[in-house]
Chains A and B, each alone.
Chain A
Amino acid sequence: MMFFMQDSDKEMAAQTAEEAERTVEEIRETAEAARQAADNLDASADALNGQIGALQALTDTAHVNEFIYLFAIFILAIFVGYYVVWSVTAALHTPLMSVTNAISSVVIVGALIAVGAEVADTAAGGWSMALGVIAVALASVNIFGGFMVTQRMLAMYKKKEKPAPKAQG
C-alpha cells in the first residue's frame, strides 16, 4: 500500500514537475516573443528615424530656408534703392519723399488678406478682419493722396518756355 502510494505520489510529482516545466517553457516563449516584438519595434523605429534623418539631410542640402531667399531679395533691393535714389536729382527730393510714401502703402496687401480671411467667424478672426478694414482705409488715403500729390507737384516742374528775348546775353 505504501509502495503503491509512493508510486502514485512519484507519478504525481513527476506530472507536476512536467507541468511546471511546460509553463516555464511557455512563459519563456512568450517573453522571447515579446522581446522579439520589442526588438522589431526598435528596429523599425530606428529605420524610421534613419529615414527621417535622411529626409532632413536631403531637404537641408537641396533647399535653403525660404527666409534666406527673401532676405537676399531684401538686401539686393536695398542696393538697388541706394543707387537709384542717389541718381534722383536734388530738385525732386520732395516728390521723391511723397512717392516713396505712396509706394510704401503697398502694405495694403497685408490688410486685404486680413479682410479676405476665412476665420472671420471666431472672435479673434473678427478683430483681425476689422483691423484689416481700417488698415485698408488708412493705406488708401496714402495711396491716392500720395500719388496724386506727387503728380500735382511734378506737373509744376517746367522747362524754360520760349527763353525770354535775349535772356542769355
Chain B
Amino acid sequence: MNNNLTAILYIAAGILFIMALRGLSSPETSRRGNQFGMIGMALAVAATLFSARFLEGAEWTSWIWIVLAIAAGAIPGALIAKKVPMTSMPQLVAFFHALVGLAAVLIAWSAFLAPVAYGIGEPGAIKVQSIIEMAIGVAIGAITFSGSLIAFAKLDGRMSGKPIILPARHIINIALGAVALLLIILLCTGVQSAFLFFLLTIVAFALGFLLIVPIGGADMPVVVSMLNSYSGWAAAGIGFTLENMALIITGALVGSSGAILSYIMCKGMNRSFISVILGGFGGEDSGPAGGDGGEERPVKQGSPDDAAFIMKNAGKVIIVPGYGMAVAQAQHSLREMCDMLKEEGVDVKYAIHPVAGRMPGHMNVLLAEASVPYDEVFELEDINSEFSTADVAFVIGANDVTNPAAKTDKSSPIYGMPILDVENSGTVLFVKRGMSSGYAGVQNELFFRDNTMMLFGDAKKMCEDIIKAME
C-alpha cells in the first residue's frame, strides 16, 4: 500500500478516536462512540499490516507470530472484560495502564535494537532526534508501568493503602530524575550503548515505583487519572519515533484526558496536584475500627422501621452514596428501596460527589450496574442547592464528603473541599457500620446534630430491612 494512503488511514483512525471521546458527552451517544473507537483501532492495525514498509519486510512467519500474539492477548483481555466486577474497575484500569506502559517500553527497545526497521538510522547511529524521542518514550513508559503496578496492588488490596514513607524520598526521586536526564543527554551526545538505554529503563522503573508508593489510598483516584495521562504521553513519545500520526493524536488525546481528570479529582478533594504527588495523605479505607476515643457524645440512633416511616412520608429524598455502599455491595438493595419509595410517590434523586468511589465516575457506574436510571443521578454542582428542599438525605457509605467541617473548620485536613450540603435537608439518615471516621480521619460534626439519625449496620442489610419495614 502506498505510504501516503497509509498515513491518511492513520489520520482517519485518529479522527475516529476523537469521535469516540466525543460520544461520551452523553450516555445515548456513548455506545456509538465506543464503536468508533473500535473501528479506529482496526483501521490503524490494518493500515500497518498493509503498509509498504511492513509488506516489504514481513515473511510468513511474521504473520503467524502476529496472529498468535493477538490471540494470546485477546482471549485473556476478553475474559477479564466479561468477568471483572464493577467495584474492581479502578484496579482493572490501573492494570491496563501498566500494560500500555510496558508495551511502550518494549517498543522503544525494539526500535533501539533494530532502528533500520523503523527507518530511524543504523544500530549505534540512530538519529539524535529519534534517540531523544525514544528515551522519553521508554522513560515515561517505564514510570507508567511500575507506578500502575503499585496503584493496582494498592487498589486491589494486595498492598496496604497506607502511604509508605521512605526517608529522604524527595531527594531520592530528584536524584533519580537527574540521573535519567543525564542518561538521556549521554545517549544523545555520546555512544548509543544498549547499556545506557538499559540503565535509563531501570532508573525510570524505580522512579515510577517510588513516586506512587508514598501516595495513600485516599488519593488513588488522582493517581489513576495521572497514570492514565502518562500512558498517553508515552504513546505520543513512541508516535514521534515512528512518525505515526495515529499514535501522536491518540497520545495527545489520552494525555490531556488524564490530566483533566486528575485536575477534577484534585479539585474534588481540594488538594493541590503537587501535594498529591508528594504523597503521604490518607490511610486505609474505612479507617481503623477504633481510633476515635475522646469524648462520648450522644447520637440519635434509629431503627430500619424509623427510617422507613420517615422516608415513606417524605416528599423528596436525596440519596448520597459513597464507596462504603459499594464495599457492602448494597447498590442493588438500595435501588429496590428507592423503587418502593417511588411507588409511594416520593421524589428520589441521587447525589454524587466527584470523589465518591475510587476513580472518576466510579459511583455512577456502580449505580448504573444496579439499574439506577442515569437521569436520576446528579453531580454535586447540579444538586447541592436542592438539599434545602429535600425532606430526607439518605447518606449510605459516605462520610467526609458530607462533613460541614470542610466549610467551617480551617484547621481540618479537609477544609476547603467541596461537600454535599446534606445538613440543609429536613432529616439526615446516616447508614454506617460504626462511629469511625472517614478516610481523612476527621470526626463528622453532623452525627451529633438534632436532625440526624444514625442507622448502624451493614449497608446492604440496612436497605433490606428498610424494604421489609416498608412492605
Q: Nearest-CB distance from A166 to chain B (Å)?
A: 6
In contact, A97 and B93 (Cβ under 8 angstroms)? yes
Q: Which residue of A lies closest to B33 (CB)?
A: A99
Closest 3 CB pairs between A and B? Answer: A140-B73, A93-B361, A117-B117
Q: Which residues of A contact B54 (CB under 8 A)?
A: 112-113, 116
Flag if A153 contacts B368 (CB, 8 Å). yes
27 contacts between A and B (CB under 8 A): A70-B240, A80-B18, A84-B22, A86-B260, A90-B361, A92-B24, A94-B361, A97-B93, A97-B361, A98-B92, A98-B96, A103-B40, A104-B231, A105-B103, A106-B13, A107-B100, A111-B107, A113-B48, A114-B114, A125-B117, A133-B65, A139-B100, A142-B96, A152-B82, A158-B373, A160-B373, A168-B347
The smallest C-beta distance from B439 to any residue of chain A, in angstroms, reads: 19
Whole-angstrom CA separation of A122 from B113 in the bound complex: 10
Q: Which among A82, A157, A168 has the highest number of chain B CB atoms within 10 Å?
A: A157
Chain A residues contacting B10 (CB-CB under 8 Å) are: 109
- When distances are taken between beta carbons in the complex, the residues of chain A under 8 Å from B26 are 89
Selecting from B204-212, B244-252, B443-451, B461-469, the interface stretch reads B244-252
- B123 to chain A: which residues have CB within 8 Å? 124
B96 pairs with A135, CB closer than 8 A: no
In the complex, whether B160 has a CB less than 8 A from a CB of chain A is no
A96 to B: closest C-beta gap in Å = 5
Q: Could you say which of B185-193, B375-383, B425-433 contacts chain A?
A: B375-383
Q: How far is the CA of A113 from the CA of B118 in the complex (A)?
A: 7
Q: Contact: A90 with B22, CB < 8 Å?
A: no
Asked if A119 CB lies within 8 Å of chain B CBs, one says yes
A43-100 with Cβ < 8 A to chain B = 66-67, 70-71, 73-75, 77-78, 80-82, 84-100
Cβ-based interface call for B225 (8 A) = yes
- B77 in contact with A116 (CB, 8 Å): no
State the main secondary structure of chain A at its contact with B: helix
Within 8 A of A (CB), among B115-169: 116-118, 123, 129
A139 and B261 contacting across the interface, CB-CB below 8 Å: no
Question: Within 8 Å CB of B360, what residues of A?
Answer: 90, 93-94, 96-97
Residue B321 at the chain A interface, CB threshold 8 Å: no
**A81–B253 contact, CB under 8 A?**
yes
Q: How far is the CA of A75 from the CA of B253 in the complex (A)?
A: 10
User: Which B residues lie within 8 Å of A107 (CB)?
Assistant: 100, 103-104, 107, 234-235, 238, 247
Binds A, one of B272-280, B301-309, B338-346, B409-417: B338-346
The answer on a CB contact under 8 Å between B235 and A139 is no
Q: Are A135 and B103 in contact (CB under 8 A)?
A: yes
Chain A residues whose C-beta falls within 8 Å of the C-beta of B261 in the assembled complex: 85, 93, 96-97
B254 engages A124 (CB within 8 Å):
no
Residue of B whose beta carbon sits closest to that of A147: B38
Known: A91-B352, A97-B257, A103-B37. 4 other contacts (CB 8 A): A97-B361, A103-B254, A108-B44, A153-B89
Interface size class of A (residues with CB under 8 A): 35 or more
Assuming the contacts A93-B360, A104-B251, A169-B315, asked whether A132 and B72 have C-beta atoms less than 8 A apart, the reply is: no
Find out whether the CB atom of B81 lies under 8 angstroms from the CB atom of A152: yes
CA distance A50 to B359 in the complex (A): 63
- How far apart sit A122 and B132, CA to CA, in the bound complex (Å)? 25
Find B41's partner among A75, A106, A124, A128 (CB 8 Å cutoff).
A106
Other-chain residue from B62, B65, B251, B376 in contact with A160 (beta carbon distance below 8 A): B376
B369: interface (CB < 8 Å): yes
Residue from the list A125, A140, A164 in contact with B74, Cβ < 8 A:
A140
How distant is B233 from chain A, measured CB to nearest CB, in Å? 10
Q: Check B69 against A118 for contact (C-beta < 8 Å).
A: no
A73 B249 Cβ-Cβ under 8 A:
yes
Q: Is B45 an interface residue (CB 8 A)?
A: yes
Candidates B55, B70, B86, B241; contact of A140 at CB < 8 Å: B70
Q: Is the CB of A144 within 8 A of B81?
A: yes
Interface-centre pick from A77, A107, A113, A133 (highest chain B CB count, 10 A): A107
Q: Do B107 and A137 touch (CB < 8 A)?
A: no
Q: Does A167 contact B (CB under 8 A)?
A: yes
- Asked if B224 and A141 make an inter-chain contact with CB atoms under 8 angstroms apart, the answer reads no
| Other-chain residue from B28, B34, B116, B250 in contact with A150 (beta carbon distance below 8 A) | B34
A residues less than 8 Å from B354 (CB atoms): 90
Please name all residues of chain B whose beta carbon is closer than 8 Å to the beta carbon of A141 when the two chains form the complex: 73-74, 76-77, 80, 96, 99
B14 contacts the other chain (Cβ, under 8 Å)?
yes
- Asked whether A5 is an interface residue with its Cβ less than 8 Å from the other chain, the reply is no
**CB-defined contacts of A98 to chain B, threshold 8 Å:** 89, 92-93, 96
